[in-house]
Chains A and B, each alone.
Chain A
């Protein structure tokens, strides 16, 4: 298996699962990877999306270096809108194969059906509501959890808390929000994701990429280059964005359908 996935995914594991205490009900039968919607627009936008997000980030990079708190705060809304557009246009909503549960995500024991995702049930407007719901859910739940994980991984505690919190918010918008959109609150699917049993697809790949990228982003901080951009949390956020893009690309193409083997 690819080294990347093997070595380093870790943060992705923490956040989603800790809020569910019960043991998983599902049998560990493998589920299939998420397929992007079958419309022409979806196929184009799914490749356009990373370019938009990355250029939005790098366009504001200098400002991020100069004033991380303001810039990252202002960047949250555009990122959220782009991500909502992306999931609405390209991804099957949770349980989308069963029309009744399109808007209100419910635990769904029947997985595997999602594989034929993408009839576009409910239309774009109908999918926007779950998209916004998942964005809200992610921001409320995943951001504090990711903040705690960032601190456990070494983020400063006595200072720069806002920076860390915003870093976590960006990471959850990138990595967790699409996961929530496609998996809803299906406990079984989440356990699968958490223990990396889930097959790689562009959503899962992007999530892993974000976490690994954020982790690798810590490397340049101690170097004595004395550059402004080495300050917290610029490298972490940059790493997360780049890891997200790489993970999304690889997960959607080369590594699609593969499984991560930690043996």
Chain B
């Protein structure tokens, strides 16, 4: 037992050590860039004194540039030269916060930012103390104004002179979020007190999440956004105080055909970027618009999203931000009529980037421009950059004190910038191998310790333990195949089928010998398989076929009444089950009262579900409750009801436990405790978990309950720990994917993260995110505990589950290390590692070990 405890303690150690090496915290250069005129000569003159950054969330390139776009006015500007269009490549992870970081600092945010995206108030993620073009404007005494997505307020606390943040809370809100921004536009255009105005519109992203890029709401929304561009452009043309204002229209990321984002599909990484000002007519005669893309979503010139930063800096006459990896967009250079200024602009860019390069790849040639350097065949990335730097210094040296001719030096400057951008953005060089290997060693140690301490159970060589071995080994192998990581649900659906069949055969064998119950066994196995088939048809998951019709989209959502009947039945069954468990300790006269009390937990939970869904997905509530019902539901305070439900669940738990401890009738006092206690707690836990689940997924818990009953029956009394462990593992994983989760960041559901939370609390929100995304696995973990409770032996369960968790972690760590230069490392394997962290730390250690502790306690009490 002690060895097993140590093995479990090694799991968090391994996970965190590996994570520290795999997601290195990128050091950034502190402070603000300053332009030292004595050292680097004059600054090229600013072309604009004000900038309006209009971010339209998830504005994919084809939404602006394509044939079926609603941006007709913007397209006319492109055609007459007043707008310069680009496709700005956004790197994965394509979620809002890292993208805003890239647009403001010019750096490529590390994967750690994804975690921080969900824990936004973490101070390490604020940009208030980093060098951004916002900070540069402020340093020059300018004022900043922000309206829209409050991500900006979290990233830049106390930065804005004036701000109105909107929360992206309910994706069903297409209009309010945007009207909140638009209502400020006329005032801001009149005001003459700001130097940068930032607007972040969320409505288009919400439409995407809700109904995809082909939603009927999409074109009207694009026209609405286009109208705002027109309003601003006309103000720039007509108002004297806005005459040298630059308007930048851009998306932070794109979206897939399913309307989600987070990964690195072409649709997600191709937002639009348009620089707009009447001044551009002097350098551009216009481009065709609308046009067809060169391929996928590539319209016009493709630039990197971070290129926005040095470009805005150059246009506004600001120093380039210290941590920037962007390159000045050369299409805008002709704005400066003097070619000397082109060189100066790029020199600023080169100088700033070479400081970064020096830190990452130190080399003496950066300090000694005359030292010996063999550039015949630069092998490492560091050497390549040194040689490109040497090419620049050589050109300056031969020009002998005079300024080198722009056509000579410009290509060398651009070449250095582009190479530095490419090399510094690829993170392959940033892993800390020592940490990676120690993490693997720790995980291996955990596997080895578990194996030795539980060898009697593991090497028993019966069908169940061989099946366990097969699942573990196959799973380990699959972790090396990117397509199987993306489509992991297939593995669990498949192994669960096999396991049900094997269980059926094992039980049949027993029935055959006893010559009874054969047809019952077959019936139960068929029922288990049927429920399993329904469960897997519920939500289409994975990457390959995402967005294709499934049971929810093709049957449930078009029939709102069915949804609510199923949801109602689920709550009713839970209430009934809880009530009957409580009644066991209560004299028959009070049974009706007890059932009413149980309903007292379920009914508020049901009202919360209705009221939440009225905001989250009004289209499935309105047909059921009508307009007046909608008004009532929208009037309810979600935070208060959620808190009431959580409180009632807690009270119910206390009630169940105290009945069990003090309220046993004398006759039953010697009966084994446990099974019923855990069943009653399971019912309360279900009500809580359903609160954290979207309405259309609630009936899945009804199916889980039916499966659980069949399973308990099929396993019977003589079930082994191995059988219970395998069942728990398989059904828990199946339920995770059946609820619509994948191994990609984009499928993390944040909609239930703020239930009952009024302010912002990282701990509580993090826990709610975990519970709402892992609601199925947590439910099944407790199901496993219920099965175990009747059996009493915990050691084998803990041993086998630890072996599976440690073994799969080991496989994932080795896969991530071996494939660290693989194309898919940031899109497939890194997210998978984050999920593995949640499975091992959250699900295994927190939930399962907690449940085991509860059984242990219950046995101790009795």
Which residues of chain A have a CB within 8 Å of any CB of chain B? 3, 6-11, 13-14, 17-18, 21, 23-24, 27-28, 149, 151-154, 157, 191-192, 194-197, 215, 218-219, 221-224, 261-263
Contact = CB atoms under 8 A, between A and B. Distances in A.
Interface centre among B481, B490, B498, B542 (most CB of A within 10 A): B498
A222 B487 contact: yes
A10 B498 contact: yes
Nearest to B464: A262
Interface stretch (B373-381, B516-524, B603-611): B516-524
A122 to B, nearest CB: 32
B569 interface: no
Given A195-B512, A262-B502, A152 B530 contact: yes
Contacts of A153: 497, 529, 533
Given A6-B466, A28-B512, A195-B511, A23 B537 contact: no
A7 B467 CA distance: 6
B505 A9 contact: yes
B483 A215 contact: no
12 contacts: A10-B498, A10-B500, A10-B504, A14-B525, A14-B526, A17-B522, A18-B522, A18-B526, A28-B512, A153-B497, A194-B508, A224-B486
Q: Give the interface SS of chain A, mostly helix, strand, loop or mixed.
A: loop
B612 interface: no
- 8 interchain residue pairs of minimum CB distance: A10-B501, A224-B483, A222-B487, A195-B512, A195-B508, A152-B529, A262-B463, A222-B490
B60 interface: no
B152 interface: no
Contacts of A215: 494, 497-498
B: interface residue count bin: 35 or more
Contact of A24 (B467, B500, B501, B512): B512
Contact of A224 (B482, B526, B537): B482
Given A6-B463, A6-B466, A191-B512, A196 B505 contact: yes
B512 A192 contact: yes
B515 interface: yes
A263 B508 CA distance: 12
A263 B462 contact: yes
A206 B512 CA distance: 22
A181 B19 CA distance: 61
Contact of A151 (B493, B500, B505, B533): B533
A152 B494 CA distance: 11
Contacts of B516: 23
A13 B505 contact: yes
B526 A152 contact: yes
Nearest to B533: A152
A51 B224 CA distance: 69
B258 to A, nearest CB: 18
A151 B532 CA distance: 11
Interface string B643-687: 000000000000000000000000000000000000000000000
Contact of B537 (A11, A24, A157, A195): A157
Nearest to B493: A154
Contact of B501 (A11, A18, A23, A221): A11
A39 to B, nearest CB: 34
A228 to B, nearest CB: 16
B706 to A, nearest CB: 15
B494 A223 contact: no
A13 B483 contact: no
B101 to A, nearest CB: 31
Contacts of B368: none
Interface of B: 462-463, 466-467, 470, 481-484, 486-487, 490, 493-494, 497-498, 500-502, 504-506, 508-509, 511-513, 515-516, 518-519, 522, 525-526, 529-530, 532-533, 536-537, 542, 544
Contacts of B501: 8-11, 13-14
Nearest to B530: A152
Contacts of A152: 497, 526, 529-530, 532-533
Contacts of B530: 152
A218 B496 CA distance: 13
B518 A154 contact: no
Nearest to B474: A219
B484 A223 contact: yes
Nearest to A263: B462
B509 A195 contact: yes
A195 to B, nearest CB: 4
Nearest to A148: B526
A191 B511 CA distance: 10
Given A152-B529, A195-B509, A262 B522 contact: no
A196 B484 CA distance: 33
A218 B494 contact: yes
A222 B497 contact: no
Most-contacted residue by chain A among B470, B501, B508, B532 (CB, 10 A): B501
A154 B497 contact: yes
Nearest to B484: A222
Contacts of B470: 7
Nearest to A215: B498
B483 A8 contact: no
Contacts of A261: 462-463
Contacts of B505: 9-10, 13, 195-196, 262
B586 to A, nearest CB: 41
Contacts of A263: 462-463
Contacts of A14: 501, 522, 525-526
Contacts of B484: 222-223
Contacts of A6: 463, 466-467
Nearest to B500: A10
Given A7-B470, A23-B515, 7 more contacts: A7-B502, A10-B498, A10-B501, A13-B508, A151-B533, A197-B509, A222-B490
A7 B463 contact: yes
A222 B533 contact: no
Nearest to A13: B505
Contacts of A13: 501, 504-505, 508, 522
B174 to A, nearest CB: 31
Contacts of A218: 490, 494
A8 to B, nearest CB: 6
A100 to B, nearest CB: 29
A2 to B, nearest CB: 10
Contacts of B536: 154
Contacts of A154: 493-494, 497, 533, 536
A126 to B, nearest CB: 33
Contacts of A195: 505, 508-509, 511-512, 518
Contacts of B542: 222
Nearest to A26: B515
A8 B498 contact: yes
B154 to A, nearest CB: 37
Contact of B502 (A10, A28, A194): A10
B348 to A, nearest CB: 44
Nearest to B488: A222
Contacts of B467: 6-7
Given A7-B470, A10-B502, A157-B537, A23 B518 contact: yes
Contacts of B522: 13-14, 17-18
Nearest to B465: A6
Nearest to A11: B501
B475 to A, nearest CB: 12
With most chain A CB atoms within 10 A of its CB, the pick from B490, B504, B505, B526 is B505
A7 B501 CA distance: 10
Contacts of A3: 466
A170 B518 CA distance: 28
A18 B530 CA distance: 15
